[in-house]
A and B are shown apart, each in its own frame.
Chain A
């Protein structure tokens, strides 16, 4: 992996400056069943295609953002800082 990832603050930077925590997941709202809980904790789509992921510009501005990346080509379609609620 040597692609460039566009940090919302710093612009395109080598991917090894970032850490990735994987697919964006949806946290269950309250008292999930065991199945809902394990789905959230351990199950991933692992798509061969576009997926939304969490990235952190660890060796840069340290910001967290989400990116839409094609896992087959490493083309990053968009990045987004989660909007304020």
Chain B
């Protein structure tokens, strides 16, 4: 089927490439695309159309139209005409039931006419309502083109690269290269982007990159699809040399296999030495397309007739075919038999990228094309894209005659006919933007490249106006089809791990996410781990806590202004609990603040809050300009909490510091060497037992962890995870920010009124809290215990008078107490000790009693012991 070797052909006839098509082995040459190899093997039907399942063959041969889309190695919608052939490729047809030549769904073309007009689904399939699931199942099975294999997973790695150049030229044709040379001569760093690999070679003083520009965004951002890499170019100057798009003509049968655009002839003959057909008719509206006549003759195709629309007026064109393949064409009343019909409705400048950048386009009536007229700064257009497309006649909006003929397509991607467009206008969709959404013209894979101008022309004729008044629809990126994987990029799920992480995994911890941190949920026995803290000694890795140094002459003043409680009167070596509020009085974060020295504070935040708190601190200080430095040492320091009745005994073994209750009391902070490591010891008690939180340089994480477990082995030292910690803190009714509070909560209603010192002159959130006092409480956070021991779901409803009146925020079973306990937001009148709550659990309602004081050790004797 191949012609003898031609000068300039792209083939290497010495290297055969074997691949499979529909399971059968096929051969092509090195230099072929998938489509040219299949064409060489006699394949003419490449796809079935979107709606009517009509056979479709090569039309544009340059990656514009939807006709050659195939599934290649499991990837759907691969444009075969521009995809280089690779040995071993498995190529399959898509959107067919049966085969490409005998598609069962082609029935919709023959009998579906009256049932498949535009908008048919919207109007018809909503009634009767109950049948919708059936409709939906059917529609989903027939809709779309290729099918995505959901089970394939990520096989392909995609990446993104950020690049910065002075000038980016989109299009490596002669105009693009001229512009590139001109800019390079002015000592600018120039890159040319060219989609066609055959036109990528070294430039003179500039780089040529194989890829397609997807759009032009603000700030000179031009993303370029380079296969598996998305190149994000930042440029100061964009030259659009994207050329022009050959337009089809609108006539009955204009989608038959054998109807092609001129570029298809140029590529089939010139690159791949293929004879496009045996007997051809050429109909061209522009000068540029008549070169195909010579090419066809060179390829041995008999040219039966050439119709130059600039010289010759034709009223009606009708292509006739058999089994979807072209057999003849009727030109007015004459019939010419042929198997190839080369049509060109002129070349429309590719202005979409310019439109993305904010350029305006205007209609040029003499040639019937839209040309860019008003360019924003930093945007330049050259060559055909600027309108240099030669002379052309304005083709008719359609060449459809009166007699009953084959379908006449305006949009081949979405199978929209001239009849559909007329119907849409008849129904009142008289704006082109509305009609686009209703008929889906221009919304298919070609994104309007082949149907935008023809649809505007038809709209103008039917509305008895001109193209300029109809106007264009908004051009949006991407200008070329792009794989979703490329836009999604490489999977990127960064995890933060503490310096003790590997000890946890060695101990068999079940890990969980808290924000971006990986933390042990438990070491297999949450209840046992909690009990061990109460009975002997537990140790937990709390390195994830946010840790900040706040230092400087104004440090105390700074914290006074940020936190609702007082810090100015704190003595060095003491600790206070603090809750950060927004100026709207909402709780943001909490933690402990230790005064290390007169001007040095050590502030901890929640595990997920460190970044936000630092940003919050810095923001306020950008306004206040106090003399204070904020240093985030979260990653630099590790932290473990040792808690339980035996914690003091352990500490005496690890440090020379006097840890007696008299010398080191509750809420003291002291520096000491612990197991040879310089550490800050905070005596606090989140879990309700005597405890010491040790903060020390991260590199010693495993050393200290190991030492604690070793030296404390006979004291019962065992690690505990986040889940037992949550049980323990709930027993103490310690509020967990983000769990028991949300973005609406304030410290007053969250039952921490003691923390807000409203007699201070000012602090962030003070005025809003005063307003809360003025208006009265709307709800209140309280503890509760269930009467029958069942644990309600977190988020479960509190029922008041048969209606939702509150919600459960935390609930756990406590072995220590032998009760199911929790915390909940309830109406203020129920926030009284012993008040009865009705809690919804699994659809039934259960009784609970309000508790306002900690369930366990309400007076904190164990903490202070």
Contact = CB atoms under 8 A, between A and B. Distances in A.
Contacts of B771: 34, 37
A1 interface: yes
A30 B762 contact: yes
B583 A27 contact: yes
Interface stretch (B118-126, B515-523, B569-577, B616-624): B616-624
Contacts of A2: 217-219, 221
Contact of B768 (A3, A15, A19, A37): A37
B637 to A, nearest CB: 19
B767 A1 contact: no
A40 B582 CA distance: 13
Interface in B611-662: 614-615, 618-619, 622-625
A41 B583 contact: yes
Given A28-B767, A34-B771, A41-B583, A56 B221 contact: no
A79 interface: no
B619 A54 contact: yes
Contacts of A81: 622
A41 B762 CA distance: 16
A56 B619 contact: yes
A15 B622 CA distance: 20
Interface string B668-705: 00000000000000000000000000000000000000
B622 A74 contact: no
Contact of A31 (B234, B615, B625, B767): B767
A70 to B, nearest CB: 12
A56 B619 CA distance: 8
A58 B615 contact: yes
A8 to B, nearest CB: 11
Interface in A21-54: 21, 27-28, 30-32, 34, 37, 40-41, 54
Nearest to B219: A3
B584 interface: yes
Contacts of B221: 2, 14
A63 B630 CA distance: 12
A84 B625 contact: yes
B567 to A, nearest CB: 21
Nearest to B774: A34
Given A37-B767, A62-B618, A82 B623 contact: yes
Interface string B523-557: 00000000000000000000000000000000000
Interface string B207-225: 0000000000111110000
B561 to A, nearest CB: 11
Contact of B219 (A14, A41, A54, A62): A14
B618 A64 contact: yes
Q: Count chain A CB atoms within 10 A of each CB in B218, B221, B625, B770 and give the residue with the most.
A: B218
Contacts of A82: 622-623, 625
Nearest to B222: A2
B218 A21 contact: no
A1 B217 CA distance: 8
B622 A64 contact: yes
Q: Count chain A CB atoms within 10 A of each CB in B219, B615, B624, B625 and give the residue with the most.
A: B219
A15 B220 CA distance: 12
A22 to B, nearest CB: 12
A15 B219 contact: yes
A19 B614 CA distance: 13
Contact of A64 (B217, B220, B583, B619): B619
Contacts of B619: 21, 54, 56, 64
Contact of A56 (B234, B618, B625, B767): B618
A8 B446 CA distance: 44
Given A14-B234, A84-B625, 15 more contacts: A2-B219, A21-B619, A27-B583, A27-B623, A32-B767, A37-B767, A41-B584, A54-B619, A56-B618, A58-B615, A63-B622, A64-B622, A65-B622, A82-B623, A82-B625
Interface of B: 217-221, 234, 583-584, 614-615, 618-619, 622-625, 762, 767-768, 770-771
22 contacts: A1-B218, A2-B217, A2-B218, A2-B219, A3-B218, A4-B219, A4-B234, A14-B221, A15-B219, A19-B615, A27-B583, A27-B623, A31-B767, A37-B771, A40-B583, A41-B583, A54-B622, A58-B615, A63-B618, A64-B622, A65-B622, A74-B218
